[in-house]
Amino acid sequence: MITIPEIAVFILSLAIASGGILISSHLRTTYKAGFMSSLLFFQVFWFTFGFYVPWGQIIIVTVLEPVIEPKNLEKITYITLLLGSPFLVFAWLMYLKLTREISNMKFSNRLIIGFLAFNFFCIPGIIYLIAKLTGIQAAVLVKYAVIITSLLYIIAGIYFLGAGKRKMLMLYHQDVRTMTFWLLVLMAAQHILFFFSDAHAYVKLAFILLFFCFGGFIPVFFRYRADLSKLLISSEDNVSFDRFCEKFEISKREREVIHEICAGFTNQQIADKLFISLQTVKDHTHRIYGKTNCTSRAQLIRMVNEST
């Protein structure tokens, strides 16, 4: 029987997945940077694996445990993991592509072919040989393989972000450092819980929640923490202020508010100058932040100055 904590975590997982994909889609349409597409595809594959394997196994165990022997049930859950593994492989592929694109590095077809060959041929072959030579169950070896390869890929992504020249980064260096730190923390916590997930049901639920948080972290970080003003410098070195406003669907009154913000006026001064209430200025500012993905006046001013 599915418990109340499982239902609660499932709802949270669904909310994180939905919110993350919505934010990624918005970022993708707002900015022309190619890595936003990689981010969206990473999330699609990551969350598909999350619902197909961890949640799929919980549902299978809940439904079939009363009618199937434990040994056969274990085989079914193992088969579910194998069938869902391609989603995880492609999620990591998109993650590595994302990190290289942020660092302005090309992700060549040779790298893609090598990555896929390593995951679909080398790793299964190694697991098969170890199982034959040592007698260790393949399911146990797969569990360790997931842990090791995931740590390998997260470290590789962090290396790509750190290897890129600071001036060539698509994001500001401080934002990249902060993002890589939290990615490493989330991945470490997630794998510690994964290693002990069979010990207790609540530990497994905590692992699943962290799994979805890892998938939703990057778009949330981009939307609410990172300064994306670098991405506004398009193929044109500079665009007109009118073109900037058209791009972000800024209304006539919001344009006036942006002008005054860039001139250094406070909200009260803007209200007095435009003959509107203080609350109206705050409402306009809030909408401007939402349309441009800014979180502060300084970020908005920098975005306008660098783009126009």
Model confidence over 246-258: pLDDT tens digits?
Answer: 777 888 889 889 9
CA 101 to each of CA 104, 108, 300, 304: distance values in angstroms, whole numbers, following the listed order:
5, 11, 24, 24
**Cα end-to-end distance, the chain, whole Å:** 59
pTM: 0.78
Question: How would you label 50-89 residue by residue, b for 16+ Cβ within 10 Å and e otherwise?
Answer: bbbbbbbbbebeeeeeeeeeeeebeeebbebbeebbebbb
State pLDDT tens for residues 90-146.
999 999 999 999 988 888 888 899 999 999 999 989 988 988 888 888 778 888 888
CB atoms within 10 A of CB 38: 23
Here the tokens at position 139 are 């399911």
Amino acid, single-letter form, for residue 23: I
CB of 301 closer than 8 Å to CB of 261:
yes
- Radius of gyration (C-alpha) of the chain in whole angstroms: 23
The pLDDT of residue 40: 95
Structure tokens at 246: 């058209």
